[in-house]
Amino acid sequence: MAEITFLGTCCAWPMPRLGCRCEICKSDDERDRRLRSSLLLQHEGKNLLVDISPDFHWQAMKHKITSIDKIFITHAHQDHIGGLDALNEIFILNRKPIELYTTKKIYRLIKKQFPWMFQKKIKFKEMKKMDIDGLEVDFVPVKHSTETIGFIFKLDGKKFVYIPDCCGVEKDKIMNPDVLAIESTKGFDHRQSHGHWPVQKSIQLAGDINARTTYLTHVGHYLKHKDLKRKVEKMGKFSVAYDGMELEI
Ligand SMILES: [Zn+2]
Ligand SMILES: [Zn+2]
Ligand SMILES: [Zn+2]
């Protein structure tokens, strides 16, 4: 069994937005307070992180994360890698290099921004399908505004797919997931940009790949948690992730 914690569920900027007076930003529902997207998977005593957001320090404080064994990176946008420098604290506590898995191209983009972290604190490993004490981790190329991948975790016959930024993806590898966590940066009446598609395309994808349950994440600034949840629940087995939400696979 692996435990999954959504450390952050926001798109590029946290919510509430600075100075914004809209209903979402004025909401007193804790689930409308979102930090940037990242996941913690805990399996057989190991801490695995997917992306490391600029909010990592506070996410680690809240969830008492003092060691990390491996980090998986979806792409080199700031909201997914901006916390890398905060790994200094983890390195000081544990004195062992942290393995970072992604493609070579994404690694080169990350290294340009954080060259000092790759001297001894972080060790790059090219992402390939792997087994971590029975947890299978694989990846799928994703269409976005820069080279991007999504991750597929399989354990005891269960499958979890995580795609936080997306405007297209090959379906073969991600068919029939028990849980899909997929982006919802843009609202129902927003146009597709070169990096993100509107949320109904995520919902359509979930149907196309026969996802048993789908959680929207990387949530944009267009509906309150409760309203987005109510709206997508009417469409089938959909819900909306929130910071601190836990799942098991
Ligand atoms: Zn993002
Ligand atoms: Zn607002
Ligand atoms: Zn992105």
What would the pLDDT profile of 159-199 be if each residue is shown by its tens digit?
A: 999 999 999 999 999 999 999 999 999 999 888 888 999 99
Tell me whether residue 184 is in a domain. Answer: yes
Collect residues with CB below 5 Å from ion ligand 3. 77, 165
List the CATH number of the domain containing 35: 3.60.15.10
- How confident is the model over 207-221, as pLDDT tens digits? 999 999 999 999 999
Tell me whether residue 21 is in a domain. Answer: no
- How confident is the model over 117-156, as pLDDT tens digits? 999 999 999 999 999 999 999 999 999 999 999 999 999 9
Tell me whether residue 20 is in a domain. Answer: no
Cis peptide before 16 (omega within 30 of 0): yes
Ligand nearest to the CA of 79: 1
Tell me whether residue 226 is in a domain. Answer: yes
Please indicate, yes or no, whether the overall pTM of this predicted structure exceeds 0.75: yes
Dist CA 4 CA 244 (whole Å): 10
User: 144 CA distance to ligand 3 centroid (A)?
Assistant: 7
SS3 (DSSP) at 54: coil
Phi, psi angles (nearest 5°) of residue 148? -145, 145
Structural domain of residue 141, as residue ranges? 2-14+29-248
Q: Which helix (H) or strand (E) holds 14?
A: none
Number of Cβ within 10 Å of residue 156's Cβ equals 9
What is the torsional sign of CA 53, 32, 65, 212?
negative
Collect residues with CB below 5 Å from ion ligand 2. 17, 20, 22, 24-25
Across all residues in the chain, what is the average pLDDT?
97
Phi, psi angles (nearest 5°) of residue 79? -70, -10
Give the pLDDT of residue 224: 98
User: 128 CA distance to ligand 3 centroid (A)?
Assistant: 21
Tell me whether residue 191 is in a domain. Answer: yes
Dist CA 12 CA 245 (whole Å): 19
26: confidence class by pLDDT, cuts 50, 70, 90: very high
User: 206 CA distance to ligand 2 centroid (A)?
Assistant: 28
**Are the CB atoms for 140 and 173 separated by under 8 Å?**
yes
Mean pLDDT score, 28-45: 98
Report the DSSP beta bridge partners of residue 38. Answer: 8
In sequence order, what E strands does 81-121 have? 98-102
Domain count across the chain: 1
Give the pLDDT of residue 36: 98
Give the pLDDT of residue 194: 82
Tell me whether residue 213 is in a domain. Answer: yes
Tell me whether residue 23 is in a domain. Answer: no
194 alpha-carbon distance from chain centroid: 19
